[in-house]
Amino acid sequence: MSDSPMKKKSYEDHAGRPRVVVTGMGVISPVGKSVPEFWESLIQGRHGIRKINKDIYPGVRVNTAAEVKDFDPTEYLDRKEARRTDRYCQFAVAAAREAIVMSGIDFSTMDPFDTGVIIGSGVGGLGTLQDQFEELLVRGGPDRISPLFIPMMISNIAAGKISMIYGIKGANYCVTTACASGTHAIGEAFHKIKLGYLKAAVAGGAEAPVTRIALAGFANMKALNMTEDPDLSSLPFDARRGGFVIAEGAGILVLETMENAVERGATILAEIAGYGATADAYHITSPDPEGKGAGTAMKLAMREGNVSPEEIDYINAHGTGTPLNDKYETLAIKFAMGDETAAKASISSTKSVTGHLLGAAGGVEAVATIMAMKDGIIPPTVGLNEPDPECDLDYTPLVAKKKEISVALSNSLGFGGQNGTLLFRKAGYEK
C-alpha cells in the first residue's frame, strides 16, 4: 500500500528533498566506551585527562593527554584481525558496531549500493607509521617493514573495514580535514542521502594520535597545554587557557532517510537538517580573526535547515582551549547569529571533558549534541572559572543545566582553515 500524499510530504524537507535522521550512535572516548558512559561523564563534568607515562613517551615536553583506557580490540575483531589493524581503525569499528546495534538496521536486507560508509580521520594510522619508521631506521632496515604497513596506516581503511564487515557497497571514503574531519564526514553522508545517492550511511570520525611523534609535533608548534595538572589542562574560553589536550577515540552515527527509518520501525534519535562547510583562506593554523569563515558555515547550516538564529537553543562549540580559537569562535558565533541572539544561546565545549580528539572530535561531539537534545541537558564547560572577557557568551560554566533543546549546532574548525557545522533538530520537532 502506498503512503498518502500527506505522509509522503512529511518525509521531505522544505525543499522537497528526503529528510535525514539519526537512528544509531556509538562512542569510544577517554570518558566512556559507550554512549551511556560517555554521556554520564559529560553531564557530571568528569574529565578523562591524565598525566602521560614518560616511559612510553620519552623526551616529550607535554605532560597530559586524554587516552582511552582498558580498550580491548578483540571484543570487536578476532585476535588475528586486531593485530593487523591500527588503533584508530579499531576505535572506528567498535563505535560503528554500537551505532549499528542501537539503530537496529540490517544492511543485509538492503541494496548494498544504497548504503555507504564515510569516516573522517585527521592522521589515520599514526601509531603504525611511527612503529614502522622505527623498524626502518632503528631496528633493521627496509626488509623489516611489514607487508601490512600500508593498509594499516592509510586513513581510508576504517571506512573500508566497516564496509567489509557489514557488506556496505555504496559510497565509501575518508574525509581528511584535520579537526573538522568527523563533522565533514557526517555532513557529506547527510548530503549523499539527501541528494538520493544513498538511503543509509555509517558516518563519523576516528583518531588515535596519542603517540610520541604527535605529542612532540603538537607541543613544538605550541598548540598543547603544557601544564602538569590535568585539572588545568583543557580550559576552553577561560582566561588561563594555554592550548588543547590531545585525545583519542571515535564517534559514529547511523544516518538514513526518515522514510526508511519509519518503515522499519526504528527509533529516531534526531534529525540532521543542515550542514555548512567553508574555508577561512587565511592561515595554516589560526582561524579567521573576523570569524567570517566559521560564521558562514553556521549560516549555511541554518539556511539549509530553514531555521533562524533565534531558534538555536544550543551550540556545541569547537572550543579547543587555544588562545586564538576560542576568541575567534566567539566572534564567529556573533557573526552568524547577531550579538543579541548569540548572547541568548547556550553554548559549551565538551573538549573540556574529553580533550581534543582531532579528526574524531566532530563525530563524538555530534553524539553529545544529540544527547543534549534528547535529555534536555546542556553539558558543562568544565574548568571555566575565570572567563576571558573576549569570550563573553554563555558557555555553561562548570555544571550542566536543564534546558529544552529543539535545534542545535555542532561546530568544528580544522588546521588549514576548514570549517564545518552540523544542524540537528530534536526528534519529532516540526516547524
pLDDT digits (tens, 9 = 90+) for 165-206: 999 999 999 999 999 999 999 999 999 999 999 999 999 999
Residue 59 CB neighbours (<10 A): 8
**257 pLDDT band (50/70/90 cuts)?**
very high
At residue 5, the pLDDT reads: 42
At residue 4, the pLDDT reads: 46
CA distance 351 to 347: 12
Q: By CB neighbour count within 10 A (0-12 exposed, 13-18 middle, 19+ buried), where does 262 fall?
A: middle
Q: By CB neighbour count within 10 A (0-12 exposed, 13-18 middle, 19+ buried), where does 212 fall?
A: middle
Closest CA to 14 of 214, 258, 359, 304: 304
Choose, from 174, 184, 318, 391, the residue flagged as catalytic.
Answer: 318
Residue 49 has pLDDT above 90, yes or no: yes
pTM of the predicted protein model: 0.96
Q: Which residues have C-beta within 8 Å of that of residue 16, sequence separation ≥ 6?
A: none
- The verdict on whether 356 is a catalytic residue reads yes
Q: Where are the domains of the chain?
A: 20-416
- Residue 270 and residue 424 in contact, taking contact as beta carbons nearer than 8 Å: yes
Q: What is the mean pLDDT of the chain?
A: 96
Mean pLDDT in residue range 100-107 = 98
Percent of the chain scoring above 70 in pLDDT? 98
Choose, from 89, 174, 179, 391, the residue flagged as catalytic.
Answer: 179
Closest CA to 206 of 134, 120, 278: 120
Cell of 327: 576568541
Mean pLDDT in residue range 224-247 = 97
Cell of 244: 588543547
Mean pLDDT in residue range 380-409 = 98
At residue 365, the pLDDT reads: 98
Which residue has better confidence, 274 or 6? Answer: 274
State pLDDT tens for residues 7-41: 555 999 999 999 999 999 999 999 999 999 999 99
**126 pLDDT band (50/70/90 cuts)?**
very high
DSSP 322-367: -HHHHHHHHHHHHHHH-HHHHHHSEEE-THHHH-B-GGGHHHHHHH
For the sheet with 314-316, list strands across it: 172-175, 115-120, 200-207, 249-257, 20-28, 270-279, 418-426, 407-414, 314-316, 346-348
- Residue 244 and residue 225 in contact, taking contact as beta carbons nearer than 8 Å: yes
Choose, from 89, 174, 184, 356, the residue flagged as catalytic.
Answer: 356
At residue 311, the pLDDT reads: 97
Mean pLDDT in residue range 398-408 = 98
Q: How far is CA 32 from the centre of its chain?
A: 15
* Architecture in CATH of 20-416: 3-Layer(aba) Sandwich (3.40)
At residue 140, the pLDDT reads: 82
Residue 1 has pLDDT above 80, yes or no: no
CA distance 409 to 255: 17
State pLDDT tens for residues 285-317: 999 999 999 999 999 999 999 999 999 999 999
Q: By CB neighbour count within 10 A (0-12 exposed, 13-18 middle, 19+ buried), where does 7 fall?
A: exposed
- The verdict on whether 191 is a catalytic residue reads no
CA distance 119 to 205: 5
Percent of the chain scoring above 90 in pLDDT? 96
Reading phi first (left if > 0) and then psi (alpha if -120 to 50, else beta), residue 206 is in beta
Residue 362 has pLDDT above 50, yes or no: yes
- The verdict on whether 179 is a catalytic residue reads yes
Residue 208 has pLDDT above 80, yes or no: yes
